[in-house]
Amino acid sequence: MAEFDYDLFTIGAGSGGVRASRMSASFGAKVAVAEERYLGGTCVNVGCIPKKLLVYASHYGEDFEDMGGYGWDVGQKSFDWSKLIANKNKEISRLNGIYKKLLTDSGVEILESHAEIVDQHTVSVDGRKVTAKYILIAVGGWPVLPKIPGIEYAISSNEAFYLKELPKRVVIVGGGYTGVEFAGIFHGLGVQTTQLYRGDLFLRGFDDDIRKTLAEEMRKRGIDLRFNMDIAKMEKSDDALKATLTDGSSIAADQIMYATGRRALTRNLGAEKAGVALKANGAIVVDEYSRSNVENIYAIGDCTDRLMLTPVAIAEGMALANTLFNNKPTKPNYINVATAIFSAPNCGTVGLTEKQARARDCVVDIYRTNFRPLRHTLTGRDERTMMKLVVDRVSDRVLGCHMVGPDAGEIIQGLAIALNCGATKAHFDCTVGIHPTAAEEFVTMRSKVAE
C-alpha cells in the first residue's frame, strides 16, 4: 500500500500549476490538482490572454484613422462592446477546456474545489482529507485595492473584463503593466481616459527611456496622465462617480479602475498550519528550487512574489517537475527574461536597464535611436519609435535592449536569445538587417549617446 494518496498535490491550476502537474505526471508521478475558480489561472481568464484580445480591438480605431493615407475608405464604422466581450468569453471558455484536456490526458486528477493544507503532508478538499508526498502551492495573486472612503465603487482589472457597458469616462489608478495597458485599451475604444500614478513617472523598474517615451506617446494620443497624484476618496451620484484627488481637485467618471498591484492568494490556504513561512505581503518564501522552509512543500508563480510573469511561472513548474520526479535538479532561470507591455504603443525589454548597469559599477556605452515608423510617413500620425542598447564598454557585451514602438514584444523576444548567448555589440554590428523593418535598427546603431 502506498504511503501517500498522491506523489504530488497541486493547489492552483494556473499556468505554473498546470505545467508542474502534467509534467510530473509524465515522469510517472501520481498527481492531483485542486482549483476553486477557473482552469488556466489569471493569465487565461483575467490577465494576459483576454487583455491582449482587448488590445487588438483597441487598435482598430487608429487603423481606421490611418487607412486614408493608403487610399482606403470603408464608410461608416461602429463598435459593439458587448460583441467583443461575448467573443472574448467564448475564446476563454475554449482555453479552459484545453487546460482541462491537457491535465486529464496527462493522467492528472482534477478537483474543482477549494483545498486547504492541514499539515505537512495532508490537504483537505471539501472536507475530505488526502495525503501527498509533496505539496505544491500555485495559487497566484489577486488585485489589491486601497482602503479609502468610497472604494466599494471602484473595480479592479478582474471586473473590467466583464463590464456590461463600455464607460464613456474612466479613471485608472496605478502605473504598472495593467494600468498602462488598460489606459491604451479604453482610450483606443473611444473612452475619455485619465491615468493616475502616485510617483513621478509610471513603470517603475523599467528603463527610464521607455518610461519617458511611453508617457510622451500616450499623451500625444490624448490620454490624460497625471503623476504624483492619487485618489483621496470616491463618491457616487445618480449617474456618475466623483473622485477627489490628493491635490484637492476632482474628476467625474463612469468607472474607476484600480491597478495598484496584486497580493499572493494565500489567505485561507492553511500554509501556516504546516509551518510554511510567509512574507509580510502574504507571499511564500522559497529557495532557488522553489522549496519553502518546509521540506516537502513547494511554491511557484505569483504567490512567491518573484518575477510575476506567466512564462516564468511555467518555467518554475517545469523546473520543479524535473527536480522532484525526473532526477534532474533544476533552478529556474531569471537572467535576461524578456517582457513586453502591450500599451499604446507597445514596449519591450530584456536585460539590464541603464540605471541597473551603472549601479553594478559597469562602464557602459549607450546607443539610442528615435524615429518615425515608415508606416506613418503616409498616415501623418505623429508617433515615434525608441530603441536602446546598453553595452558593457570593457567586454562589449550587450547588457540590455529596450524598445517602445509597434511589435516591440515580437522584436525583443529574438534579442533575448542573443543576450542569453552572450552577444556583443560587435555581433549586433556584423548582423545584416532585414530592410525595411524597425527591427533592423537594433543592428545598425553605431553612434554612442554622448555622456
Listed in sequence order, the residues at least 6 apart from 210 whose beta carbon sits closer than 8 Å to its beta carbon are: 203, 347, 349, 386, 388, 402, 403, 404
Angle, CA 357 vertex, CA 355 and CA 358 arms, to 5°: 65
Catalytic residue, from 59, 187, 402, 435: name it: 435
- Number of helical (H) and strand (E) elements in the chain, helices listed first: 12, 22
Distances 309 to 14, 61, 340, 432 between C-alpha atoms, Å: 12, 29, 10, 32
Residues 6+ apart with CB under 8 A from 127: none
Residue 114 burial by CB count (10 A; 0-12/13-18/19+): exposed, middle or buried? middle
Q: What is the enclosing helix (H) or strand (E) of 236?
A: strand 231-236
- In DSSP terms, which residues pair with 385 in a beta bridge? 371
C-alpha cell, 137: 502551492
Find out whether 339 and 350 touch, Cβ atoms under 8 Å: yes
Q: Residues with Cβ < 8 Å from 48, sequence gap 6 or more?
A: 42, 310
Cα 27 to chain centroid distance, Å, stands at: 30
- Does the annotation count 435 as an active-site position? yes
Beta carbons of 334 and 318 less than 8 angstroms apart? no
52, containing H or E segment: helix 48-66
Burial degree of 86 (CB within 10 A; 0-12, 13-18, 19+): exposed
Please, is 66 exposed, middle or buried when counting C-beta atoms within 10 Å of its C-beta (0-12, 13-18, 19+)?
middle
End-to-end Cα spacing for the chain: 71
Contacts of 83 (CB under 8 A, 6+ apart): none
Contact in structure between 267 and 284 (CB atoms under 8 Å): no
Residues 6+ apart with CB under 8 A from 239: none
Q: Which residues are catalytic?
A: 435
